[in-house]
Amino acid sequence: MTDRTDAVRRQFGPAAEAYLASAVHAQGEDLGNVLSFLDPRPHESVLDLGCGVGHTLRRVAPKVRLAVGADATPGMLAGARSLMEQERIDNVALVVTTAESLPFLDASFDGVTCRLAAHHFSDVARAFAEVARVLGPGGRFVLSDNYAPDDPALDAWINDLEAIRDPSHVREHTVAQWRTLLERAGFGVADEARSVTPLEVEPWLARSRTPEREAKRVREMLRSASPAARDTFAIGDGTFELLKVVLLAQR
């Protein structure tokens, strides 16, 4: 187990209940876009990579033959198991694995989703190459994640903010960088949808169990943000927005 995987497990292992209750993760415009881009069909097998507590799985599984949820954190998969039982969904398999080394045969899946997880991956290029490997010909990969603005100062600001709040954060790429990573893994990007995620600062900090010293730094960064950052991320009194993109990539 790598240091990064260990950091992810420490961060998310005890947090399953908070993520099960999180409206940001259970709902959102991007979740509808993920389902629309994936276009799941009854005979198909779909992998949800970095599935967390299963909010995407819950939507995908009833539409396919088999849905597999993969996550590096056993505690999050325990939350997913609870959610599937609650929803009486019985065509789901849950697998503990890192994204960079998937324990599946080549061409095992018709579709792969990855929602709000890739910015935690230690090696995104390797993870996307693994996605390409386990997808069959013509398979669809739907990536939904936060993205950084093209402006280098704003890119650095939002990634610093995220890393202070959550030490398992690696990087929010720009949209162009997300696209390049997909293309280098052998995908063609066929569609794109952008949206924002409105957040209340204190529940956002509580969900990640951010220690108070770091939470104070996050609050101060938001209070002292530049006019450009305030405008880009709609920073208000105790609120702000993250930028989000959904990309449809095809083999």
Q: Which pLDDT score, from 0 to 100, does residue 30 have?
A: 87
Q: How confident is the model at residue 26 (pLDDT cuts 50, 70, 90)?
A: low
Average pLDDT, the chain: 92
Higher pLDDT, 20 or 67: 67
**Domains, the chain:** 3-149+168-198+242-250 (3.40.50.150)
Range 153-188 burial, b when 16+ CB lie within 10 A, else e: ebbebbbebbebbbebbbbbbbbebbbebbeebebe
Share of the chain above pLDDT 90, in %: 85
Tokens of 59: 């939507």
Across the range 8-30, mean pLDDT stands at 56
- Record the pTM: 0.90
User: 72 with 5: CB under 8 angstroms?
Assistant: yes
Q: Which pLDDT score, from 0 to 100, does residue 196 have?
A: 95
Q: pLDDT tens digits, residue range 82-117?
A: 999 999 999 999 999 999 999 999 999 999 999 999
CA dist 69 and 94 (Å) reads 5
> In the predicted model, is pLDDT for residue 7 greater than 60?
no
Q: How confident is the model at residue 251 (pLDDT cuts 50, 70, 90)?
A: confident
Q: Which pLDDT score, from 0 to 100, does residue 29 have?
A: 74
Share of the chain above pLDDT 70, in %: 89
Among 7-11, 92-96, 162-166, 197-201, the range scoring the smallest mean pLDDT is 7-11
Tokens of 2: 């790598």
User: 101 with 132: CB under 8 angstroms?
Assistant: no
DSSP-assigned letter for residue 96: E
Indicate the angle between helix axes 212-223 and 152-165, nearest 10 degrees.
Answer: 150
Q: How confident is the model at residue 184 (pLDDT cuts 50, 70, 90)?
A: very high
Across the range 209-234, mean pLDDT stands at 97
Q: pLDDT tens digits, residue range 57-77?
A: 999 999 999 999 999 999 899
> In the predicted model, is pLDDT for residue 41 greater than 50?
yes
Q: pLDDT tens digits, residue range 123-160?
A: 999 999 999 999 999 999 999 999 999 999 999 999 99
Tokens of 244: 């989000």
Across the range 179-205, mean pLDDT stands at 97
> In the predicted model, is pLDDT for residue 16 greater than 90?
no
> In the predicted model, is pLDDT for residue 11 greater than 80?
no
User: 31 with 115: CB under 8 angstroms?
Assistant: yes
